[in-house]
Structures are given as C-alpha cells and as structure tokens.
Amino acid sequence: MIQLVECPRDAMQGLKTFIPTETKINYINLLLKVGFHTLDFGSFVSPKAIPQMRDTVEVLEKLDLSKTKTRLLAIVANERGAAEAATHAQIQYLGYPFSISETFQIRNTNATIVESLERVKAIQELCVKNNKQLVLYISMGFGNPYGDIWNAEVVLKWVHELSKEGITIFSLSDTIGVSNPTTIAYLFRHLIKAYPNLEFGAHLHTEPHNWREKMEAAYLNGCNRFDAAMRGFGGCPMAKDDLTGNMATENVVHFFKEMEALEGKSLLKLNQKAFLKSWESSHFVFQQH
C-alpha cells in the first residue's frame, strides 16, 4: 500500500515571514480531510533556529482529528524536543534527522554524528515508553555539498547500525536535491532486499524537470512511502542558501493515478474534493508569506 506523507512543516519552515497560527490551523485541518497517511505538521525544535514552527503546540491543540485516519508526525532535534512531543497523545510519529554528513549534522542539530547516535538511542527509548514510533530520516542520504565522504555503502552501513536500536521506519532524504535515478534505484533495491522487515521511505527534493524519473526509480525498486508538499514548496533552511523544493504532491498523485491505470489496482485513495481545496489554499498559505 502506498503511504503518502504530506509535509506542510517542511513547506513552511523556510519562509521568513511568519504564517499566522490561525492560518496554519485552518490549512492543516483541510489537509486532514484529504486522506494522507501522515501529516508532517510541525516540529519541537528551538524557536531561534526555526521561528516559523514556534506555535506547533498551539496549532496541535486546534486540530480536528475526530473524522480522520491521518496520523501526525512531528520533527525533533534532541531529547528535550522529543520528550515534549511525546507528551501529546495526538502525535503518532517523531521524526529525527540523522545526517550521514558530519558537517550537516552539526549545522542542522548542533551535534556530531557520534553525539547524534546517542540522541537517537534516547529518542527511541522515549518513543517506546510513550507508544510512539520513530521515523529516522537519513539526511544527506544521496550526497552532500560539503566534501564529507558519501557513497551508497555509507548509507547501508548506517541503516544497519541504527536498525539495531529497534527502529523500523527509515526515510532516505535528498536534502539538497542531488539524487539521481541510478542512486535512488540502487539504494532502495538493496535496502529493501536486505531488510524486508523494515519500512523505507523517500523524502526527495527535486526540480520541476526531473521529478518523474526520481519517483519511478524509487517506486519501481520497492519504495511505497513518499514525502511530498503541495506545489513543491519547502526545503531545509539549514542546508544551503538556495533551497531545492520538495517533491510536489500533485505530481505524486498524478504519477500514482497513471500507475493505477497501468497496473489495474488501487494505489492511492484520496478525497479529491478536499485535495483540490487544500491545493488551492496552499497558494495563499505559502505565496502570501
């Protein structure tokens, strides 16, 4: 089954003008009606680092979860944030960005890779204790611009090490949009074969001209979990000065509609009316800020 993770948090966090809390609430409540598997809705991180997300708790308190099966995911950067997020029953997933680039790990979470590994262990313990699941993002999973060593074997090594901690959901993150179909195919093919009991997702940043080839490479090599954002907005503000956008949700939906026609089976069921309303609303939410 395809799991589509909509990422308003990722789309919003790099915007310099603060989106009013009420606007966030209204928009995310629209998204909850669409039928996404998960919403990456907010983060429990330093408001100095990511000021756009300083109202995550206020937003969470006003979300209408009474008629949705969509699950909520919040990003955390350390144990303190994880402990706070874990107190909220509405949140099912905590997401942690584990970078295999030493430079970016320090830049993104103010920790070395060794320190980050200890954080992962502590956050996983919090998740188990509080009935949450940890989604581990393998950040800079397809390369980095800093000159840090990267190759596919480094990715495989870290998944192997981290899976020992009982983590079962990994999302390979193309933080700066450097992935290519060959690398995407290789990683998903080898990881899914080697770890059939783990779940692997794709958090792909892309440009308008090459989104399809990336989707095909991931999906045709076994990936069934995809992160996306309406209109392709977003990108990590800690990575580079020029952001590379997220995979656009509308492109992902179009892709799977085509796959359904080709394969004759249902891959993605969304409330199309709610989807269109959310897509139209995203123009105001993002472009006005």
What are the residue boundaries of the structural domains of the chain, listed by start?
A: 3-287
Please tell me the distance from the alpha carbon of residue 277 to that of residue 5, in angstroms, as a whole number: 18
Find out whether 115 and 98 touch, Cβ atoms under 8 Å. no
Q: What is the largest CA-CA distance in the chain?
A: 49
Going by pLDDT thresholds of 50, 70 and 90, the confidence category of residue 251 is very high
Between 26-40, 95-109, 120-134, the lowest mean confidence (pLDDT) is in 95-109
pLDDT (tens digit per residue) in 222-238:
999 999 999 998 765 44
| Nearest partner of 226 among 91, 36, 24, 99, judged by Cα | 36
Please tell me the distance from the alpha carbon of residue 105 to that of residue 164, in angstroms, as a whole number: 21
Sign of torsion over alpha carbons 53, 35, 175, 119: positive
Specify the pTM: 0.93
pLDDT value of position 69? 96
pLDDT value of position 8? 97
For the chain, give the percent of residues with pLDDT over 90.
75
Mean pLDDT, residues 42-53: 94
Please tell me the distance from the alpha carbon of residue 147 to that of residue 163, in angstroms, as a whole number: 26
| Nearest partner of 81 among 54, 43, 53, 131, judged by Cα | 43
pLDDT (tens digit per residue) in 48-69:
989 999 999 999 999 999 999 9
Please tell me the distance from the alpha carbon of residue 191 to that of residue 232, in angstroms, as a whole number: 27
With a cut of 80, say whether residue 158 has pLDDT above it. yes
Indicate the class that CATH gives domain 3-287.
alpha beta
Q: At 252, give phi and psi (nearest 5°).
A: -65, -45
With a cut of 80, say whether residue 287 has pLDDT above it. no
Find out whether 120 and 77 touch, Cβ atoms under 8 Å. no
SS3 of 91, please?
strand
Please tell me the distance from the alpha carbon of residue 246 to that of residue 177, in angstroms, as a whole number: 9
